[in-house]
Amino acid sequence: MKHASQQRTRHRQRGASLLLMVIIAALIFFGLFSIRSPVSLRTDQESASAAVLAQAKAALIGYAATYKETHPGELAGYLPCPDTNNDGEYTPADNCGLKDVSVVGRLPWKTLGLPPLRDGDGECLWYAVSGRAKNDNKADVYNWDTPGQFIVQTPSGQVLAGATPHARPLAVIFSVGRPINGQNRSAGGGECPGSAADAAAAYLEGLGALGTGNTTVTVADAVTRGNGTNNDSALWVTSADIFGPIRKRSDFKTDVEAMLNNVATHLNTLTPLALPATSTNKGVGDPIAETAGSLAKLYLDSGVAGYNRNFFKNWSNNLLYAKLGSPVKVNGESGCYAVLVFGGERLPAQSRDPVAPSTEA
């Protein structure tokens, strides 16, 4: 009996030892495979940041494309001012700067109908908008010829966006990453870390001075990420991004045709001698300065108001006008002493002033 008892004890000991070895092996296996390399972890964080940047860009484009519906009486295309007090939206309490002055702040996620998007490091997105495209303290003229005010480059100076005026982004969205290089960020108590008093410099390393001119944005590369001098990632919004969807809207064509018809109707009230002369660039004149004797001045003085007046002021640089020496037939109608044409979108090689008409229109 004693011998049998000893055998059972040895069997239990061997069984317990085997179970312990299995547990240890499992822990080692799962432990080894759960350890991520820094490179792999960084790649995942960058992928997460890229995804929320793309989501934010799509929301901004949608906001601009539907601005006419959400803001009755306004034209489509405007971008929201940033959230400068960290409440998730732009309100009059935020500071959107003077006319034409670019502004930076957090992405106004509530205004865009988004959750508080966070990058791969858990920080909420930041956002800078050109003064010419913002929806408060608006520019005098804003259309598809309006150049943005940002030039995006690498630390070595390679231009990623904005090599030419019409290629300059209208807005830039930032993934700011974790604090580096002595940056001090308050914890805050809202949806997004930080407080209303946080300066952009506590989050952005590569944003140049903002104003009415161009601002250089330097994004991070592998070197600056490694040495801790810049870890900003960015995605930008161009004029083509904004006005591509607007151009496809049926009501945009309707607005253009209404502008042409309204101006033509006014011109038809004038005698041939009273028609304004053709300007050197065949434009209709400055709709802001309303130069005496120009078609723009005559039309705006005719009593046009509201949406039609606003549309003309913002889009009349695309109109070409010529007074003819003798009557011709235009679109099947004889006896025309002047021609009015909407030039349409510029070609890639063309450059236009958004206010003064261009001879390249």
**pLDDT value at position 222?**
94
**pLDDT value at position 193?**
84
**pLDDT value at position 41?**
54
Ranking 7-21, 110-124, 126-140, 219-233 by mean pLDDT, the lowest is 7-21
230 and 113 within one domain: yes
**pLDDT value at position 15?**
52
Average pLDDT over residues 94-113: 95
**Residue 337, pLDDT above cutoff 90:** yes
**pLDDT value at position 167?**
95
**pLDDT value at position 34?**
45
Question: Which helix (H) or strand (E) element contains residue 52?
Answer: helix 38-65
pTM for the whole thing? Answer: 0.86
Tell me the per-residue pLDDT of 232-290, one tens digit each, with 9 for 90 and over.
999 999 999 999 999 999 999 999 999 999 999 999 999 999 999 998 888 999 999 99
**pLDDT value at position 194?**
84
Both structure tokens of 48: 């997460």
| Residue 20 maps to a domain | no
Question: What is the rounded CA–CA span in Å between residue 315 and residue 145?
Answer: 9
CA neighbor of 230 nearest in space, from 242, 239, 222: 222
| Residue 117 maps to a domain | yes
Q: Which range has the top average pLDDT, 99-103, 183-187, 285-289, 330-334?
A: 99-103
302 and 227 within one domain: no
The dihedral region occupied by 177, where left means phi > 0, alpha psi between -120 and 50, and beta the remainder, is left
**pLDDT value at position 360?**
37
Average pLDDT over residues 109-130: 96
Average pLDDT, the chain: 88
| Residue 36 maps to a domain | no
Give the DSSP per-residue string, 312-353: HHHHGGGEEEEEEEEEEEETTEEEEEEEEEE--SPPTT----
CA neighbor of 207 nearest in space, from 108, 128, 119: 128
| Residue 7 maps to a domain | no
338 and 240 within one domain: no
233 and 114 within one domain: yes
Question: What is the rounded CA–CA span in Å between residue 209 and residue 226?
Answer: 25
| Residue 353 maps to a domain | no
| Domain final residue, candidates 213, 246, 279 | 246
**pLDDT value at position 197?**
75
191 and 95 within one domain: yes
170 and 153 within one domain: yes
Q: Which residues of 193-215 are buried (b: 16+ CB within 10 A; e: fewer)?
A: bbebebebeebbbbbeebeeebb
Average pLDDT over residues 286-301: 93
Average pLDDT over residues 111-115: 97
Question: What is the rounded CA–CA span in Å between residue 239 and residue 61?
Answer: 10
The residue length of the chain stands at 361
| Residue 325 maps to a domain | yes
| Domain final residue, candidates 246, 275, 299 | 246
236 and 171 within one domain: yes
| Residue 324 maps to a domain | yes
Residue 258, CA atoms < 13 Å, CB-side half-sphere: 14
292 and 241 within one domain: no
333 and 199 within one domain: no
Report how many domains make up the chain: 2
**pLDDT value at position 58?**
98
**Residue 93, pLDDT above cutoff 90:** no
| Residue 9 maps to a domain | no
239 and 268 within one domain: no
153 and 105 within one domain: yes
Partners of 323 in the beta sheet?
Answer: 338
Partners of 134 in the beta sheet?
Answer: 79
| Domain final residue, candidates 197, 222, 246 | 246
Tell me which of 324 and 30 has the higher pLDDT: 324
Specify the residue for token string 């002055």. 101
170 and 48 within one domain: yes
How many Å is the maximal CA-CA distance in the chain?
Answer: 132
**Residue 161, pLDDT above cutoff 80:** yes
Question: What is the rounded CA–CA span in Å between residue 334 and residue 356?
Answer: 30
Tell me the per-residue pLDDT of 20-40, one tens digit each, with 9 for 90 and over.
454 444 444 444 444 455 555
Question: What is the rounded CA–CA span in Å between residue 140 and residue 314?
Answer: 7
**pLDDT value at position 305?**
95
- For residue 262, CA distances in Å to 50, 257, 304 come to 46, 8, 9
Domain that residue 327 falls in: 249-342
Query: Please, where are the H alpha helices in 176-271?
Result: 222-227, 239-247, 250-267
Partners of 150 in the beta sheet?
Answer: 215
